[in-house]
Amino acid sequence: METSVLTVPGKKASDWMVETRPKEAEAWLASLPLADSAASAQQLYHALFSLNRMDVELRDRLALMELYRAPVAGVVTALQSHFTHLALPLSPRQRQLAEFLRNLYMEMAYGYKFVVRDLLAQRNPWSRRPAITTAAERAIHYLGEVLLRSYQVYVPYPAGVWREIHELYRLAEQNGAQHEPVPGTSANMSDTTSISRSYLRVVLLGLAGPYQLPQQECQHVNQYLKRWSDRATLSADLDIDSPVGHFLVDLSADLPAMLYPKDVKLKEAPYLRVLNAVELARVVHQQINQLQKGVAARKLDLGADCFDAACLDMLRRLIKFWGMAARRQFTRRARVNRYVSLCDGVNAIHFFASGAHPFVPPEDAETAAAARAARGAAADEDKETVIDLDVAIADPEPAAPPSMTAPEL
């Protein structure tokens, strides 16, 4: 595996103190004021930030990262309610909180990627098969959480995340470890998963049109896939009968999976895989039928915590993404070289839609009208008007990047 694909922060001194002995770290984590989620999240972030930028023995690092899983899950669950149910756009404080939680998950991913890199640097890394399998699955899980937090607030996900997720899966596949059981990453920590299941969950969520889903529904789809993602399969055999329900995955690209191309004969390549979601689509279709017959959602073991009508709407959307052939909405036309003028932003749209008149707040309308009359602004409309587009569509000054501290709530 090309370990250079896995990005980790460089070593540097930190102003924050952190416990590097697992036993003492466990005692410190137990003492966190979990009732104050913001304060606990800030302390967890500081500790993870420091751990990921210092030399720590491999065995201790893996043990430490496992200890941090439950507290991190707890504070994220408590804090995300401050923005996941709110109307968009989010306020600056809410955007800062969403960015903070995404960075908290990125630090968790860094820790496990360090473990994978350090193990691969050894002479016989797969002699410690359970450790490297666990670390790879955890890294995929937390990188998937970074994607999920991006989807939830409709912001671009960080560059390189998909490439790392694909590479971690390829590592496991090459060594036949993709289906080996790994202790789960759910809140109760009692279930089991595998690299394959976690990878399929992340890939299928990326295929569900995450930026088109209602804000809270992304979380429901993610929960649903934790239960049902194993109904999909991955194969290196590119010879399929129909592209419906099949998707193409490029393990070497920094891209999500894509629709399987129609009427194109693909040659087998070491980095290409076919994701078969036909069986998953059948399960979704059966569940839709049962909900339409009046069966309660809680009896179907969907995995998602939603009401009957909301579950039905979600499943109908999923069947369109996973089980139907995509259709072009418009007829493709011959390409012609033409120029198109665009305007961007509400202010610019209002400017041109109102006949090139700048927006005037209602309370200032009378004053502005009098001023225009005094200046002779109501001159002949046939005269040519010169518009300063830079002024008309200028964006506001960009805000300073948020500091990585949990905002006060």
* pLDDT tens-digit map of 22-79: 999 999 999 999 889 999 999 999 999 999 999 999 999 999 999 999 999 999 999 9
Both 189 and 293 in one domain: the answer is no
Both 139 and 231 in one domain: the answer is no
Both 350 and 274 in one domain: the answer is yes
Q: Give 62's contacts (C-beta < 8 A, 6+ positions apart).
A: 112, 115, 131, 134, 135
Lowest mean pLDDT among 15-29, 208-222, 320-334, 343-357: 320-334
Cα distance between residue 307 and residue 405, in whole Å:
35
The two structure tokens encoding residue 379: 């001159």
Both 162 and 87 in one domain: the answer is yes
Cα distance between residue 366 and residue 364, in whole Å:
6
**Domain-embedded: residue 367:** no
Would you call 289 exposed, middle or buried from its count of C-beta atoms within 10 A (0-12, 13-18, 19+)?
exposed
**Domain-embedded: residue 198:** no
**Domain-embedded: residue 55:** yes
- pLDDT at position 260 over 70: yes
Both 256 and 305 in one domain: the answer is yes
The domain containing residue 302 runs over which residues? Answer: 211-361
User: Which of 323, 339, 361 delimits the end of a domain?
Assistant: 361
Among residues 253, 233, 263, 228, which one has the least CA distance to residue 245?
233
- pLDDT at position 187 over 80: no
Q: Give 295-301 contacts, CB < 8 A, sequence gap 24+.
A: 301/227
**Domain-embedded: residue 116:** yes
Cα distance between residue 319 and residue 281, in whole Å:
6
Both 268 and 316 in one domain: the answer is yes
**Domain-embedded: residue 398:** no
Give the residues across from 235 on adjacent strands. Answer: 274
Among residues 225, 313, 353, 223, which one has the least CA distance to residue 277?
225
**Domain-embedded: residue 386:** no
User: Which of 319, 343, 361 delimits the end of a domain?
Assistant: 361
Both 118 and 257 in one domain: the answer is no
Among residues 181, 190, 109, which one has the least CA distance to residue 143?
109
Would you call 61 exposed, middle or buried from its count of C-beta atoms within 10 A (0-12, 13-18, 19+)?
buried
pTM for this predicted structure: 0.79
- pLDDT at position 80 over 90: no
- pLDDT at position 21 over 90: yes
pLDDT tens string 348-357: 777 778 777 7
Beta carbons of 181 and 190 less than 8 angstroms apart: no
**Domain-embedded: residue 294:** yes
Both 101 and 19 in one domain: the answer is yes
Both 314 and 232 in one domain: the answer is yes
E-strand ranges in 127-262 read: 182-183, 192-193, 233-235, 246-250, 258-259
Both 334 and 189 in one domain: the answer is no
Both 230 and 320 in one domain: the answer is yes
**Domain-embedded: residue 178:** yes
Cα distance between residue 363 and residue 368, in whole Å:
10
The number of folded domains in the chain is: 2
pLDDT of residue 60: 96
